[in-house]
């Protein structure tokens, strides 16, 4: 589904200084008597500003209602809109699916009296939108910018075109091949920690383990650093892992800010304890990244050719950024930091969500799990690790991964703000200024055969876009798919995954898809299957 956000976010600040006197100076006796008049004038001025602002919002609301007449939706409360329908209890996506069946192709949703979205849920609508280069919406993504800056995720226009072209070589398969071993090492470290769970019949929560593992993998691939698994799997982080803790805090705090409406206001969030914690974490993250960039620049002064660097060690993402040029363009330190921080967030949190739900799906579908395991054992031929060449030898496992991504997309919405009217195949038009967001209608049956080549060719390619599509698709999608394959293969080689029927996940769409009560499974060593 796609949703179009018609909101704007103006802020009005007024400061008025009034000095009036028949003479050039106010005497000490005159000044106090003038204060009540100044207060009255200031109050009147603020009232006028408030009335003007409210009038502008009402005019904007009428314009939005007129533009959305062609896209009916569920009845909305005049003040709260549909906010009360989203109770953060794990039923939000079910309601969106229900509405999607009731209103073909697209429908409107309101969050309060002035913020609206157009939710689109038809492949041809998705194709129309994602074939453009329209920028990301300015409602939710603005919360990222203090951390990741104007990186590839949120930038637009010529800067986005330039950086996309600069960064594309960093995801060539020659660069990605050595990453498979690094991903494998991180996965095996996590699986070693699971030994204690394998000896019990108790379930455990997946997401925190997987999140730290994907952080460790990104640290190795992006920075050539090994540190994440010095962190204990709890809320307590050692002082030497300040950067890991900062990334973990930032992901949590951005999620929190999206959920808590008053925190959408910059001033309220800035003055809050969470805002202070956010700024502190941003400072730590930026300091760490800047220090890594500085040290790597010094190292690269000695070896200016990428092939000479590669002869000494594997190239990482930072090498590519520092050496990337288009014509005479070289990225500034600020641009490099923004792209590294962007890759750090997108490459760990989204992948952690995807892997966690894939493992959960396989636990709930033991027959498909066993078929994947048999395929993996045959592909690895007795090896305890997986290599680049093995990734193409597990097609059924790949289909199961895609089916899980269909049921539980790590990013359940793809948002765009259109800058010019967009007409869809049925003749309806979304006006300029809308923010468009893709959300998907899931069929709740786990069937990997949907992704057999003959079945894929019979449906629209825009019916399944977990990494978006078009010119603004996910630049790191091959990296993410490789990591998912590596982790799933090594996990199934070692453990049997068992569903905990008493702890079903309560799904909530936040920055990435999450579960309110965690994602729990049980495991047993493969050679001890019941």
Say which residues have a Cβ less than 8 Å from residue 485's Cβ, sequence separation at least 6. Answer: 386, 391, 394, 397, 398, 401
Cα–Cα distance for residue pair 41/302, rounded to 1 Å: 66
What is the residue extent of each domain of the chain? 87-525
The DSSP letter of residue 68 is: T
Tell me: is residue 361 an annotated ligand-binding position: no
**CA-based nearest residue to 320, from 293, 342, 344, 357:** 293
Mean pLDDT on 284-306: 77
Cα–Cα distance for residue pair 442/84, rounded to 1 Å: 23
Percent of the chain having pLDDT more than 90?
36
Query: What is the bridge-based pairing of β-strands 435-439 and 115-120?
Result: parallel
Cα–Cα distance for residue pair 225/228, rounded to 1 Å: 9
Q: What is the pLDDT of residue 252?
A: 79
End-to-end CA distance of the chain: 42
167, 321 Cβ separation under 8 angstroms: yes
* CATH 1.10.630.10 for the 87-525 domain, yes or no: yes
pLDDT of residue 27 exceeding 50, the answer is: no
Q: Is 514 left (phi over 0), alpha (psi -120 to 50) or beta?
A: beta
pTM, entire model: 0.83
pLDDT of residue 23 exceeding 60, the answer is: no
**CA-based nearest residue to 82, from 119, 108, 54, 62:** 108
Q: Identify the H or E element spanning 158.
A: helix 157-167
pLDDT of residue 240 exceeding 50, the answer is: no
Mean pLDDT on 344-353: 87
Q: Is 294 exposed, middle or buried (0-12, 13-18, 19+ CB in 10 A)?
A: exposed
pLDDT of residue 480 exceeding 70, the answer is: yes
Among 12-16, 186-190, 222-226, the least confident range:
12-16
466 bridge partner residues? 468
Q: Classify 17 as helix, strand or coil.
A: coil
326 or 40, which is more confident: 40
Q: What is the pLDDT of residue 134?
A: 84
pLDDT of residue 13 exceeding 60, the answer is: no
Q: b/e map of 421-449 (b: 16 or more CB within 10 Å)?
A: ebebeeeeebbebbbbbbbbeeeeebebe
Q: What are phi and psi of 250, to 5 degrees?
A: -65, -40
Q: What is the pLDDT of residue 183?
A: 94
Query: What is the bridge-based pairing of β-strands 507-509 and 495-499?
Result: unpaired
């Amino acid at each position: 589904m796609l949703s179009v956000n018609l909101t704007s976010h103006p802020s009005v600040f007024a400061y008025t200084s009034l000095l009036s006197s028949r003479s050039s100076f106010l005497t000490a006796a005159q000044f106090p008597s003038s204060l009540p008049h100044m207060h009255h004038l200031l109050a009147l001025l603020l009232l006028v500003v408030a009335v003007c602002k409210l009038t502008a919002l009402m005019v904007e609301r009428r314009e939005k209602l007129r533009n959305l007449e062609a896209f009916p939706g569920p009845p909305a409360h005049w003040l709260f809109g549909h906010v009360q329908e989203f109770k953060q209890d794990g039923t939000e996506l079910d309601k969106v699916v229900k509405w999607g069946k009731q209103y073909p192709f697209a429908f409107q949703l309101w969050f309060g009296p002035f913020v609206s979205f157009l939710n689109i849920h038809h492949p041809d609508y998705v194709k129309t939108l994602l074939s453009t280069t329209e920028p990301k919406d300015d409602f939710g993504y603005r919360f990222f910018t203090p951390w990741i800056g104007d990186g590839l995720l949120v930038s637009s226009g010529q800067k986005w075109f330039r950086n996309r072209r600069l960064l594309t070589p960093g995801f060539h398969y020659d660069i990605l091949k050595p990453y498979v071993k690094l991903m494998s090492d991180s996965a095996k470290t996590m699986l070693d920690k699971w030994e204690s769970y394998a000896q019990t019949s108790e379930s455990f929560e997946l997401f925190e383990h997987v999140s730290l593992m994907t952080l460790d993998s990104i640290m190795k691939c992006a920075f050539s650093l090994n540190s994440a698994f010095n962190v204990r799997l709890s809320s307590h982080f050692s002082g030497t892992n300040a950067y890991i803790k900062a990334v973990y805090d930032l992901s949590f705090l951005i999620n929190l800010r999206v959920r808590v409406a008053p925190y959408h206001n910059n001033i309220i969030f800035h003055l809050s304890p969470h805002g202070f914690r956010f700024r502190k974490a941003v400072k730590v993250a930026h300091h760490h990244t800047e220090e890594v960039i500085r040290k790597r620049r010094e190292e690269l002064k000695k070896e200016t050719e990428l092939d000479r660097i590669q002869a000494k060690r594997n190239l990482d993402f930072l090498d590519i950024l520092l050496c990337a040029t288009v014509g005479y363009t070289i990225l500034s330190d600020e641009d490099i930091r923004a792209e590294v921080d962007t890759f750090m967030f997108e490459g760990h949190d989204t992948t952690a969500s995807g892997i966690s739900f894939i493992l959960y799906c396989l636990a709930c579908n033991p027959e498909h799990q066993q078929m994947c395991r048999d395929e993996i054992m045959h592909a690895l031929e007795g090896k305890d690790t997986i290599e680049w060449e093995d990734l193409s030898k597990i097609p059924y496992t790949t289909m199961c991964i895609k089916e899980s991504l269909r049921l539980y997309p790590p990013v359940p919405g793809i948002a765009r703000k259109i800058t010019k009217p967009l007409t869809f195949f049925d003749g309806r038009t979304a006006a300029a200024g809308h923010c468009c967001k893709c959300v998907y209608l899931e069929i709740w049956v786990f069937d990997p055969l949907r992704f057999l080549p003959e079945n894929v060719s019979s449906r629209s390619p825009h019916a399944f876009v977990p990494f978006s599509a078009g010119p603004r698709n996910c630049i790191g999608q091959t990296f993410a798919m490789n990591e998912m394959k590596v982790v799933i293969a090594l996990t199934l080689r070692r453990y049997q995954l068992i569903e905990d029927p008493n702890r079903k996940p309560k799904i909530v769409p936040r920055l990435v898809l999450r579960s309110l009560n965690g994602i729990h499974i049980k495991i047993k060593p493969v050679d001890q299957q019941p």
